Structure 1
Amino acid sequence: MGILIDSIVEKLEQYNPKSYINNKKITLIESVKYIESSIEDFKPNTLYVGQISRLPVSKLILQPTNFLIVSKLHLPCSVRTNRNTNIVLINEEFSPAIFNKVLDIFFKYEDININSLKLLKVLSKNTGLQDIINSSSKILGNPMYVSNTNFEILSFTEGVKLNHSLWTDITIKGYQQYDKLQSLLKDTILNAKLPIYFKSTNENNYEFKDGGNTIDELSKDSNSILYKENSKFTISRIWSNIYAGNKLLGQLIVIEAFKPFTERDVKIIGLLSNAISVELQKHKYYESSNVNSKELFLLQLLDGKITSQEALYENIKFAHWEMKYPLSVISIVNKSTISYIQFSYIKTFFQKIFYDCVCVLYKGNIIIATNYKDNKTLYKKCFKELQESLNNFEMFCGVSRPFYNLLKINKYYKQSLKAIELGRYRDIDKCIFIYDSYILQHILLLSSSEESLKDFCHPAIFKLITYDSVYKTDYLKNLYLYVMNFKNQSKLAGLMHIHRNTLHYRISKIEEIMNVDLNNVDEFFSIYLSFKILEFSGEEF
């Protein structure tokens, strides 16, 4: 670790230094010392500072060394061009202030190096984003937060007491207000590679107890930041975009709440942004290279990260999602987990079928949020095309019930998965399963853990089963077909290839054996439910 000699020269520009870099192998400075005539052995990565009169010219020929000479005297050409040495010359009378200035520059860079090691140590522990943020806040002495490309808050400094509306939005509400960010979003800050210092010009800006200008304090002339004054802010902040290559992952915002920002802070914020980028890329979502704001919004909803109507309203504006209600959730699953490579290929097929949809990969499945098709013709057309795609990809699809409340989308996502689970158990020849068709099976599944389902059957069903067994009749199957065809005797007589009078006789006989009235709605439903229970229990008719 250390600082390049060029960086020291840059920080000393007020003295108009001249540099003669002849040995590029030793330009990394690891320590600073005052030149003493008694020094015999010069270290190659040490910067020796002092007067020309103390320069041991006779010893320089053989030793690779760095010197910063402060003197009004002429520097010999043989010294300036010596291939072993690097010389920085300041044409002034030597003063302890210059030496101390060099020490300050060196120690500040050493401090940055030490803090970068601390960040590296936190990263190596793999304890997550929150630990990185908490540790970095201690280093910088100011609170901070991280948001994604939809400005959802991913993490913020814990345990900070800051009486400010911005911090309240971040820590209590969990989101930033769209209207307050609009003016920033119109500016091209999301393309900025350098950190941006938004300096508040508001009279309510915080004053620091140990405030006052320091040599290292940020100013308009700083080359390390983009400096923007903002009269709408009541507290200053540094905004640093987080990138993975050319892909924007989010933003790191550090608030100037407890101490003024310095050039040192900007360096550390740059290191921190890179550390956060590494951490965010571990998340499964960031493995995908083409995620837009709507898709990210859907992932947030599925993860349950948006919990209030107010937060929902703000996030909808950030995502620019103009939804048409009612919505439905469609889940596409494979026998094994769907990879991002598969998803990137398959995704376009589903987007063509449901042109107004949002399609994401979530927990190894493809999840589609789309407007529920009230038009039956359009609905059938979409699902015909969907079935063709599913057959090609050897996948299965579950469709939730229509809904109006986005905050409950996770419930309908689970419905779509449950439809697949129940449908594949009962209808093995299908690949599209609509939850509405399996609601009763779902109810029975939930009930089966508490009670014996057959206890809910109409008792006369078992009487009819016994009668068939004793007299070798087929009345149970006849009744099943009659109930499942909604008492349509003409249709049923054709299916059974018997005369309607024969069917009428059999139904009357069944009513007599069971002592029931199939024209009674309650009794009819009870018998219908009984058959569904028996089906669920594995009986065949």
Structure 2
Amino acid sequence: MSTVYSCLFSIREWAANLAGIVSREGTIQELIDESEQLFDNFIDVNDSTYSLIARTKNIEPADPLSTELVRLGCHNLDAIKAAESIGAFGEWRDQSDINVFGPDETVPFKYITCVLKDRNSYAGHIVMVCNNHDATPGMMDMFRILSNSCQQIVSSAFFNESPTALFLRKLIDNARLTQAYFDEQSSLLGLDTTGWFGLGMIDYRGGEYSEQPSWVASMLQKTFPDYQVFPYEDSLLVLSFCKEGHVERRKEDFEKLDAFCLEMKCTAYASDTFEHLRNLRFAFAQTRIARSYKSCIDIEMRPLDNIDSRRVFHFGDAFAYYCLDGRETDPDLWSFCMDHTILDDIVAAEPGHSISDVKLLYCYLFNERKTTPTAQQLHMHRNNVLYRIGSIEKRFGIDLGQFGTRERLISCYRYKILTSNKFRQLLV
């Protein structure tokens, strides 16, 4: 009887100590340290990116999966795929209470798991490998007490907002930030403010990891290690930057983003490139425009460009719809879009031919990409037309074989002809 009383007293004292750690806003590692001797099994806690944030210090893991976790500090992608192939991680994310799994080919012991939530989103999980003591009902009850304590401090143990993300969100939300504030903050954060920027908005909600924004953000950051990745509202944003060679870099980024969306089964929307960080809010508006016209783009592109399922939608694909839709009321955004067109880039980079690139492209498009009538109209050799058009596509990263690209260029020509006498002179 004295042994039973002693055991109950130890458990009561342990539960009180856990409550004390929670009340003073301690760490999850402290909870594990307090519990290690009582459980005498290997315990680890992972965040939503499967990175290790706490574990028993004096009890070494006895299974390959936990050993690799401790060695690397996270479950690598191969381990995750192997575990998901037998349903382990998927079942962990979906469970609503503690559960017992195994033994199986990944973990040769029974293991108890519990999902941790942060504002109804998957934030991680706590796992105990029963390598020294079996998963008895009493062990499960104590594990539930430990899991509840972890749950109470989970929000402070995981995601912390970075100063850079806060500043970038301010640039999107507040058009009235002073230049002095912008210069001071960008300098403190070490951000480049001029160069070639691009913005991608990743809509993970319909993907396979819709309840794991931190996991998606982690994978996105690994895909684009040199770029800024930060959450905004119901999406994740990735801000690209380069000093030069932006056409080639932009093409590479699109290929990476497309592969990322395929892997994560999500959708992305991309802005035009822009030259100053202060224009971030306009770039974000462009990604939202691309999302607004997604269904239109999908219908238009599928038969004409032989695309079965698009994963990345560019503002350029939505440009013609944006021009035709009379509901747009932001004159600043409209001016930004029209002052930063592909035609402006072509005019600025004019190499000095007797017939300008902008005039050649105009004739080529309005002749429905027929080389012979274009050559006759401009008194050029047909092969020279083909060479020059190919050079334009390569230098400015455009594909005239895509219907959306041609529609956008034609819309830009019409707008420039309508509003600019100087531009009209270039076509005479």
Tell me if TM exceeds 0.5.
no
Structure with more helix by fraction: 2
Normalised by the size of structure 1, how large is the TM-score?
0.35
Work out which structure has the larger RCO, using CA pairs closer than 8 Å and 6 or more positions apart in sequence. 2
